[in-house]
Amino acid sequence: MKLLKGLALTAVLLALCGTANADKKLLIDGSSTMLPIAQALAEKYMDKTPGITISVKGGGSGIGVASLQDSTCDIADSSRPIKGSEIAIALTKGVDPKATVVALDGIAIIVNKANGITNLTKKQVRGIFNGSISNWSQVGGTPGKILAISRDTSSGTYEAFIALALEGDKIRPDAMLQAASQAVATTVANTPGAIGYVGIGYISDTTKVLTVNGAECKKENVLNNSYPYSRPLFMYTNGKPQGDAKVFIDYVLSAEGQAVVEEQGFVALKKKQ
């Protein structure tokens, strides 16, 4: 009888363990720029890790940070560093945001393919997006109104672009704001006279990518910082990554995970020497 009771207890414990494993869940929220990376990584990880479900949502870095502050996500994707004010709010809620750099990116300047311009200086990019330059003839192009396409203010790409390209200037008031990087690319592709900016993973043959100060937005130039609009991409957790979040982030940083980053058109981290 003791043996039977022991076997029965073991069976119950195994069943409970199986249920617990099946119920393992991770929620990733935030950057729409990082959405294709996070989705691809989650799919690969789930394929090799039975018993865990990873849900990935995009909507903007600001939304991801807010979700982390409210403890409604396990990992917040952000294409910009978290702000001091956001950290302060998080701490009042018992959340201590910690960053892990998981990839690198270049913010590409794109124009409609009919545009004859191939290069802009940093000064010209700043002038176009702050509104002091309003016609293509002012930068050596065919006369015509410039239509600036920008990410919306909840976007980490917007925040990074303001810091890197506009050096703190406000975006021009007549800029057309888009909620996603793909929407920026599509609008530029379909609109003569348009110019926009997207992460390197959103570069395609539907638009023309401009050089900036003669530097191409490509992997080598992002890695050596010769492209002026280069930036890191982050995954934030409450405190140092632990548990399933740590195992997943470790996978992201592994050779296999970084290969997925490259497959999505972004730039893998340099290997430590």
**pLDDT in 10s for each residue of the chain, 273 residues:** 444 444 444 444 444 444 444 468 999 999 989 999 999 999 999 999 999 999 999 889 999 999 999 999 999 999 999 999 999 999 999 999 999 999 999 999 999 999 999 999 999 999 999 999 999 999 999 999 999 999 999 899 999 999 999 998 999 999 999 999 999 999 999 999 999 999 999 999 999 999 999 999 999 999 999 999 999 999 999 999 999 999 999 999 999 999 999 999 999 998 654
Question: What integer pLDDT is reported at residue 11 of this predicted model?
Answer: 43
Question: What integer pLDDT is reported at residue 13 of this predicted model?
Answer: 41
Q: Please tell me the distance from the alpha carbon of residue 128 to that of residue 70, in angstroms, as a whole number.
A: 37
| Strand 194-199 with 97-111, pairing | antiparallel
Assess whether 90 and 158 both reside in one domain.
no
The number of domains in the chain is 2
Q: Please tell me the distance from the alpha carbon of residue 249 to that of residue 255, in angstroms, as a whole number.
A: 12
Assess whether 246 and 204 both reside in one domain.
no
Closest to 181 in 3D by CA, of 210, 159, 151, 158: 151
Assess whether 100 and 130 both reside in one domain.
no
Q: Identify whether 74 is part of a domain.
A: yes
Q: Identify whether 6 is part of a domain.
A: yes
Question: What integer pLDDT is reported at residue 271 of this predicted model?
Answer: 65
Q: Which residues contact 143 (CB under 8 A, 6 or more apart)?
A: 135, 136, 137
Assess whether 155 and 130 both reside in one domain.
yes
Q: Identify whether 270 is part of a domain.
A: no
Assess whether 116 and 200 both reside in one domain.
yes
Assess whether 14 and 97 both reside in one domain.
yes
Q: How many CA atoms lie within 13 A of 40 on its CB side?
A: 18
Among the residues of the chain, which ranges form H helices?
2-22, 35-48, 61-69, 84-92, 122-130, 156-164, 181-190, 219-223, 243-253, 255-263
Provide the CATH number for the domain around residue 202. Answer: 3.40.190.10
Assess whether 74 and 155 both reside in one domain.
no
Assess whether 99 and 118 both reside in one domain.
no
Question: What integer pLDDT is reported at residue 270 of this predicted model?
Answer: 80
Assess whether 100 and 154 both reside in one domain.
no
Q: Identify whether 245 is part of a domain.
A: yes
Assess whether 127 and 204 both reside in one domain.
yes
Q: Please tell me the distance from the alpha carbon of residue 54 to that of residue 247, in angstroms, as a whole number.
A: 12
Q: Identify whether 272 is part of a domain.
A: no
Q: Identify whether 269 is part of a domain.
A: no
Assess whether 226 and 109 both reside in one domain.
yes
Question: What integer pLDDT is reported at residue 17 of this predicted model?
Answer: 43
> For the whole model, what pTM was predicted?
0.85
Q: Identify whether 115 is part of a domain.
A: yes
Range of the domain at 76: 2-104+232-263
Assess whether 134 and 205 both reside in one domain.
yes
Query: Do 116 and 208 touch, CB atoms closer than 8 A?
Result: no
Q: Identify whether 144 is part of a domain.
A: yes
